[in-house]
Amino acid sequence: MIVYKRALGRSNRRRVALVSVVAAGGLLLTACGGNDTKGADRGGESSVSATQNARNAGENPAPGAFNDADVMFAQMMIPHHEQALEMAKLADGRASDAEIKTLAEEIEKAQDPEIQTMKSWLKAWGKPESAEESMPGMDHGSGGMDHSGMAGMMSDEDMEKLKAAKDTEFDRMFAQLMIDHHKGAVEMAEDEQADGRNATAKKLAGDVVKNQSVEIEQLQKILDRL
């Protein structure tokens, strides 16, 4: 069972603390990793490009030590990004605002590679893609883990409303829901920056904070004029 707690961080910003609660005899994610630190600092290269280059060269895509915060960041950000992709794909045939359409395309182009990147880290670390799979004795046949409590995640009801909307109604709803979704991703990434250990994971977290903060401002401007 994973419990998500909201807490006040420095500068009075809210942060999401991800706490794993595991039954007796359960899994403990230890601060471990390969000894190879080659490529841990790739300068100005993006974390996605660095991971792709490492995979192509047969290297560890996330070299160096890692801890439970790094693992949890990847396991939680993957479904978070996947929902953003689902939202972005709905813009085709529903959105009427040109800027919304363009931004939806940019979200797809940015977040799909990041999903593949984080999956490659977990594979290299010997960890499952889903936090649910880390929990011994959990029923995995019930249709998947409920991520509705994760910061910024849309409910099924919100998704159905977005699917049913068109034109300006869709544009407004998409902008507001994506703002909330991005804010959740930024909070999760800031937690990774504070608590993570792996340099590659922390770099991607920094990319998420930077890029999605810019998109939040852009979406808010769109929302203000619609």
Q: Report pLDDT digits (tens) over 214-226.
A: 999 999 999 999 9
Paired tokens of 73: 């960041």
Domains of the chain, earliest start first:
67-132+153-226 (1.20.1260.10)
Q: For the chain, give the mean pLDDT.
A: 78
pLDDT attached to residue 108 = 93
Q: pTM of the full predicted structure?
A: 0.72
- CA-to-CA distance for 192 and 189, rounded, in angstroms? 5
- Of 192, 186, 226, 193, residue with least CA distance to 208: 186
What single letter denotes the amino acid at residue 168?
Answer: T
Q: Report pLDDT digits (tens) over 104-150.
A: 999 999 999 999 999 999 999 999 998 876 554 444 333 444 555 68
pLDDT attached to residue 127 = 96
Distances (CA, A) of 60 to 7, 32, 122, 127: 34, 14, 11, 14
Strand, coil or helix: what is 5?
strand
pLDDT attached to residue 132 = 72
Paired tokens of 45: 């290269």
Q: Is the dihedral of CA 72, 78, 80, 81 positive or negative?
A: positive
Paired tokens of 143: 């249709």
- CA-to-CA distance for 11 and 201, rounded, in angstroms? 24
| In the block, residue with structure tokens 């919100």 | 158
Count of CB atoms situated within 10 Å of the CB of 143: 7
Can you name the residues that pair with 14 across neighbouring β-strands?
8
Q: In this structure, what DSSP letter does residue 155 have?
A: P
Q: What is 118-164 written as a DSSP string?
A: HHHHHHHHT--SSGGGGSTT----SSS---TTSTTPPPHHHHHHHHH
Q: Report pLDDT digits (tens) over 144-177.
A: 445 556 888 999 999 999 999 999 999 999 999 9
